A and B are shown apart, each in its own frame.
Chain A
Amino acid sequence: MRRWIVCSWCAIALALPASALAQDTGQSAPGQSSSQKPPQTAKPKTGKLPIGLRAMGVVQLTAMDSSATFKTLVGTSNLPGFGGAVDILNLVSKVFVRFGVSQDAKDGSRVIVMEDGTVHSTGVPLTLSVRTVELAAGWRKYPKKHPKFAWYLGAGIAFTELTSESPFPQPGDNDSDSGSGALVFAGFDRTIWKSIIGGLEVQYRSIQDAIGSGGVSEAKGENSLGGATIRGMIGIRLRR
């Protein structure tokens, strides 16, 4: 069911830019409508938005889908992280593409889950890191009344790798697990000063069957490396 919802969401998200593109072919871009006054800050009409660039540093908090697994190991299912992304804007009208990387990490300790669900912590230090590479496309909207402001949404694919690191590893102990799946996101940004922008974004990644074959995830019956992320971003935007 969840997978169906996610897929539907992705499809809708991917369709939106195309829809927007279609609308753009028949309509004016913001600020181009003859019935509207151009924004005072807008540049003269060119008929087409120039290709722009948005580069952002990201701090984020990810609520992992496999919440019981992560709570057991690191005490919480919300992993703090950081990353960066580059959006190439206005490739076709307001459509942009994104390449992004991020890493969420949290320290905890290795555990043993009993058959009755109780947990024994061995005290052996453990660092869990979830690294994600995003390839996505989206559509940006510039409200007419707030030219420094833009909101956007998009969808794409995510490649996620989980690594567990503990001291005294034996072969295989610190091996990583990885998976791929869909991601959708939405957010807004605002020009703070000249080309400096700040923004917020929410994202959901669906990475199924990446774990669950052993360890705590098997005991907890969880198999996802996906989750919902909220991001704070700051960066630069070259052109709109």
Chain B
Amino acid sequence: MVVVRFLCCSIASAVAVLIVAAASPSADQNPVQGVRVPTVSVPRVPTPGTPGSNIDPVAGPRAAVQGGPRRLTAARAEAFVEAARRGLDYLPGEVVMKFRSGMGAASMQRALDAVSSRPDANGLDWHGSVALLRDPSQPDAHQLAAQLSAQPEVEFAEPNYIARISPLEKQFSVGGAPATPPATPSGFGRVKSFRTTGTPSDTDFGAYQWNFNLINMPAAWDVVPGGSADLIVAVVDTGITLAAQTMTFPLWTGSAIQNVQMAFAVNPDLPAGRLVSPRDYAFLDPQGPVVDMEGHGTHVSGTIGQATNNSFLVAGMAYNVKIMPVKVCNGYWELMIVRAQNGQTGFISSDSGGCSFVDMSDGIRYAADNGAKVINLSIGGPSQSTLLRDALAYAVSRGVFVAISAGNDFEDGNPTMYPARYAIDFEGVMSVASLAKNSAKAFYSSTGSWVEIAAPGGDSRQGTGTTDRGMIWQSTVLTADSVAGSLGVIRPRFDRYDKQNYQGTSMASPHVAGLAALIMSQAPGISPAAVERIIRNTAKDIGDPGRDTHFGSGLIQPRTALYGYSVNR
């Protein structure tokens, strides 16, 4: 723990130094998607979310953004920071509760009176049929939940748990030049259906995407090339940036809170035309733009549906489907922005942030209500949650298939992970374990009876010395920058993309989501339960014979699932 704190402090200090350098007026020129632009000084006026067009140094059509973060409040940001500092799996002082049906305002107030602070029922933050209670006077959410659960008016109450994106998932080194699309790309920027004759033309497919060859995707694409453009897959995660724009946010730069311009761009290997019905439950306004300041959501969406056969970077499984970005997770930058907006100085731990279960529940329900047929949930934690279980049940009842990462905590006590654990309760929800390049279990992949299926997720310990490093490569946002010739400058910019190597059950889950999307494209109207049975019945049994706790039913076989069987094979 001491070592971890030391590392966190070191990282925070390094970030501080580097941001100071980034924020200081300089004449440095930095590459932005191939355009070299001057860095300009930013005004020292802490006005949150001011339009950036006036001082936007980036050439090209970028939209100015009005308003600052509304979803992520200062109190919520502080709760995330506090949870990270204390190692909590919930947001201090936040409880999710559901009243029994038929309860009126008086009954609700009577239940709330059981809490020492006697919160007002009118002050509850409603999320559908559940209410979020914030009680700053009682940080111990477990105690709050226990008090409320004891009331006859309350169906259930639980802390607002948080899931964190495992730090082991990112193994890449920061920096490097961004990838630029070819000058005359083949099908670049367009939804293009094609029929493969083997390996797609994506330049790095052969050298990096061992995962797709392991599950024989080229042959699967022969049967269902990329899926249907009418099918929507929701990625409930850290978001996906939908538009090129520059936003100005306040940020602690080490010496002061300054307005800092942050450039955003759309992943050139996942065209904006394929991103639909975005929603932000975690950071900005729900109706506003969705941005990914972490990279996880973009990477996951790449596995599901990155543009393919466009002679650029790497491929995705269901490369014709639409992707619905649903942001439910905040990372370091979101929290730093909101803290600065609230006038708070100083740096926070780089692993602060996470995904609150309330936001995840909202995201799942939103996706189910807005046309998604598949949801990918590459997030989870060790806390049981009736809230999330109900959300999964709702999604399945709406005909939505859900793929969930089984967890990366095998070497950390291998706890039961949620919501992955709930997968075995529903036909149509699958928890996904991770395999290494050699089809062995990835070192981190959680095991248990809730593991239902396995897919490639990468394993850095079993890929040493290879080009692909045994990990999963997809195009995602480069969340840091470096300037050659200097000691290194980290800038909060999110407008550059390249293939990046991740590992984790987070990377395995979108393989299953992508397969589900292809199956649903092939058989419109098929139920989520049938999709699960197809995936399970066509899996290649590995490990112990039959279903086991490491791999579930085995390694997914997209080709077989889409092609089917004849009389004897």
Contact = CB atoms under 8 A, between A and B. Distances in A.
Contacts of B526: 120
A63 interface: no
- Looking at B216, B533, B563, the one whose CB has the most chain A CB atoms below 10 A away is B563
B538 A216 contact: no
Given A122-B522, A213-B568, A218-B568, A166 B534 contact: no
Interface string A146-166: 000000000000000010101
A215 B523 contact: no
Contacts of B538: 112
Interface string A120-139: 11111010100000000000
Contacts of B566: 73, 110, 126, 128, 164, 166, 173, 215-216
A214 B523 contact: no
Contacts of A120: 523, 526, 530, 533-534, 564
Contacts of B565: 110-113, 214-216, 219
Interface in B526-542: 526, 530, 533-534, 536-538
Contacts of B522: 122-123
A73 to B, nearest CB: 6
Interface string A96-119: 000000000000011111111010
Given A114-B537, A124-B223, A177 B567 contact: yes
Contacts of B523: 120-123
A196 B440 CA distance: 70
Interface residues of A, number: 38
A236 interface: no
A114 B427 CA distance: 13
B338 interface: no
Interface string B33-53: 000000000000000000000
B76 interface: no
Contacts of A164: 566-569
A172 interface: yes
Contacts of B537: 112-115
A168 interface: yes
Interface SS of chain A: mixed
Contact of B564 (A122, A212, A218): A122
Interface in B550-569: 559-569
A121 B219 contact: no
A109 B567 contact: no
Contacts of B569: 164, 172-173, 175, 214-215
B564 A114 contact: no
B216 to A, nearest CB: 8
A69 B568 CA distance: 9
Given A120-B526, A170-B559, A114 B533 contact: yes
B204 interface: no
Contacts of A162: 567-568
Contacts of A112: 534, 537-538, 560-561, 564-565
B202 interface: no
A85 interface: no
B563 A124 contact: yes
Nearest to B530: A120
Contacts of B567: 66, 69-70, 73, 128, 162, 164, 177, 211, 215-217
A35 B273 CA distance: 97
Contact of A121 (B223, B564, B568): B564
Interface in B110-146: none
A166 B563 contact: yes
Nearest to B533: A114
A229 to B, nearest CB: 18
Contacts of B530: 114, 118, 120
A73 B568 CA distance: 11
8 contacts: A112-B538, A113-B537, A113-B565, A122-B564, A166-B563, A211-B568, A215-B566, A219-B565
Of all A-B residue pairs in the complex, the 4 with the closest CB atoms, nearest first, are A110-B564, A122-B564, A164-B566, A168-B222
Interface of A: 66, 69-70, 73, 109-116, 118, 120-124, 126, 128, 162, 164, 166, 168, 170, 172-173, 175, 177, 211-219
